[in-house]
Chains A and B, each alone.
Chain A
Amino acid sequence: MKTLSFPPVRLTFGGFLFALAAAAGIFYPWLVPNDPLAADLSLRLMPPNPAYPLGTDQLGRCVFSRILAGTRISLSGAVAASVLSLVLGAAMGVCAALIRGWVRAFFTGLIDMGLALPGLILALVVSGLLGGGFQSLVIGLALANWPWWARLIRGLVSTARQKDYVLAGRTAGLKKTRLLTHYLLPQIQGPVLAAAVLRTGRIILAFSSLTYLGLGPAPPAPEWGRMLQEAGIYMTRAPWLMLAPGLAITLVVGALHLMGQGLDREAP
Chain B
Amino acid sequence: MLKAVLKKAGYTAFVLWGISLGTFALFALAPGDPAEVILQSRHESPDPQQIQALRQELGLNDPWAVRYCSWISAILSGDLGTSWQTGRPVSDTIWERIPATLELAGAAFLVMVLISCTCGGCAAFFRHRIPDHLIQAATIIITAMPAFWLGILLMYSFSLKFSLLPTTGRGTTAHLILPALTLAAGIAMLQASVLRTSLLRIMALDHIRFAAAKGLGRPMIFFRHILPAALVPMVILWGISLGQLAGGAVIVESVFAWPGIGRLTVDAVLARDIPTAQALILVLSFIFVVVSTLVDAVHRKLDPLLGHTL
Q: How far is the CA of A251 from the CA of B32 in the complex (A)?
A: 38
Q: Are B250 and A120 in contact (CB under 8 A)?
A: yes
- Residue numbers in B under 8 Å from A257 (CB-CB): 140, 143-144
The CA of A236 and the CA of B160, in the complex, are separated in Å by: 8
B74 part of interface (Cβ distance < 8 Å): no
The distance from the CB of A197 to the nearest CB of chain B, in whole angstroms, is: 13
Docked-complex contact B152 and A232, CB < 8 angstroms? yes
Is the beta-carbon distance between B15 and A246 smaller than 8 angstroms?
Answer: no
**In this assembly, does A31 line the interface, its C-beta being within 8 Å of a C-beta of chain B?**
no
Would you call B60 an interface residue if the criterion is a C-beta within 8 Å of the partner chain's C-beta atoms? no
| Min distance, Cβ A255 to any Cβ of chain B, angstroms | 8
B169: interface (CB < 8 Å): no
- Closest-CB distance, B83 to chain A (whole angstroms): 15
- A127 — nearest CB in chain B belongs to which residue? B269
- The residues of B that contact A249 with a CB separation of less than 8 Å are 144-146, 149
Q: Is the CB of A121 within 8 A of B251?
A: no
Of A117, A119, A232, the contact of B284 (CB 8 Å cutoff): A117
CB neighbours (8 Å) of A254 from chain B are 140-141, 144
Minimum CB–CB distance from B224 to chain A (whole Å) comes to 31
Write the nearest CB–CB distance from A261 to chain B, whole angstroms.
Answer: 9
Interface assignment of B18: CB less than 8 Å from any CB of chain A: yes
Task: Tell me whether B285 and A116 are in contact (CB under 8 A).
Answer: yes
Residues in chain B near residue A75, CB distance under 8 A: none
Contact indicator B248/A242 (Cβ below 8 Å): no
Contact B250 A131 (CB under 8 A): no
The number of chain B residues touching the other chain, given as a range, is: 35 or more
Q: How far is the CB of B157 from chain A (nearest CB, A)?
A: 10
Query: Who on chain B is nearest to A119 by CB?
Result: B247
The segment out of A51-59, A60-68, A174-182, A208-216 that lies at the interface is A208-216
A246 x B250 contact (CB < 8 A): no
- A159 at interface by CB-CB < 8 Å: no
Considering the complex, give the chain A residue whose CB is closest to the CB of B142: A250
Q: Decide if A121 touches B284 in the complex (CB within 8 Å).
A: yes
Say yes or no: B160 contacts A121, CB within 8 Å: no
- Residues facing B in A116-141 (CB within 8 A) are 116-122, 124-126, 128-132
Kindly state whether residue A109 has any CB partner on chain B within 8 Å.
yes
Q: Assess the B288–A231 pair: CB atoms within 8 A.
A: no
Give complex CA distance A190, B10 in Å: 37
Also in contact, A118 and B141, with CB within 8 A (given A129-B30, A246-B146, A250-B149): no
Interface-forming stretch among B19-27, B39-47, B201-209, B229-237?
Answer: B19-27
A250 touches B285 (CB 8 A): no
Query: Is A228 at the interface (CB under 8 A from chain B)?
Result: yes
B6-52 at interface with A (beta carbon < 8 Å): 11, 14-15, 18-19, 22, 26-27, 30-32
Q: Does A95 contact B (CB under 8 A)?
A: no
B95 within 8 A of A: no
Kindly report which residue of chain A lies nearest to residue B245, judged by CB atoms. A118
A1, B148: Cα distance in complex, Å: 42
Within 8 A of A (CB), among B165-179: none
Decide if the interface of chain A is mainly helix, strand, loop or mixed: helix
Chain A residues contacting B31 (CB-CB under 8 Å) are 129-131
Q: From residue B92, how far is it (CB to closest CB) to chain A in Å?
A: 21
Docked Cα-Cα span, A113 to B16, in Å, equals 7
A235 to B158 alpha-carbon distance, docked (Å): 13
Interface size of A as a range:
35 or more
Q: Given A119-B247, A129-B27, is A113 in contact with B22 using a C-beta cutoff of 8 Å?
A: yes
Among residues of A, the one whose C-beta sits closest to the C-beta of B16 is: A116
B125-175: which residues lie under 8 A (CB-CB) from chain A? 140-141, 143-149, 152-153, 155-156, 160
Residues of B within 8 A of A94 (CB): none
B26 close to A129 (CB less than 8 A): yes
Known: A113-B22, A124-B266, A129-B27. A209 touches B147 (CB 8 A): yes
Q: Is the CB of B281 within 8 A of A130?
A: no
Known: A113-B18, A257-B140. A213 touches B281 (CB 8 A): no
A205: chain B residues within 8 A (beta carbon): 144, 146-147
**Residues of the B chain whose Cβ atoms lie less than 8 Å from the Cβ of A157:** none
- Bound-state Cα–Cα, A126 to B25, Å: 11
Q: Contact at A120–B277, with CB atoms within 8 Å?
A: no
Question: Separation in Å of the B15 CB from the closest CB of chain A?
Answer: 5
> Which residue of A is nearest B151, CB measured?
A232
Minimum CB–CB distance for A256 against chain B, Å: 8
A204 to chain B, nearest CB (A): 9
- A: residues with CB less than 8 A from B are 109-110, 112-113, 115-122, 124-126, 128-132, 201, 205, 208-209, 212-215, 225, 228, 231-232, 235-236, 239, 242, 245-246, 249-251, 253-254, 257-258
Give the interface of B toward A (CB within 8 A).
Answer: 11, 14-15, 18-19, 22, 26-27, 30-32, 140-141, 143-149, 152-153, 155-156, 160, 243-244, 246-248, 250-251, 254-255, 265-266, 269-270, 272, 274, 277, 280-281, 284-285, 288-289, 292
| Further contacts, 5 of them, CB under 8 A, given A212-B251, A249-B146 | A109-B18, A125-B26, A128-B270, A213-B250, A242-B149
User: Which 6 A-B pairs have CB atoms at the shortest separation, nearest pair first?
Assistant: A128-B269, A118-B247, A246-B149, A254-B144, A120-B247, A129-B30
Q: Show 25 A/B contacts (Cβ-Cβ < 8 Å), sorted by A.
A: A116-B15, A116-B285, A118-B247, A118-B284, A119-B247, A121-B280, A121-B284, A124-B266, A125-B26, A125-B265, A125-B269, A128-B272, A128-B277, A129-B26, A129-B269, A129-B274, A209-B146, A209-B147, A209-B251, A213-B266, A225-B148, A228-B146, A231-B152, A242-B153, A246-B145
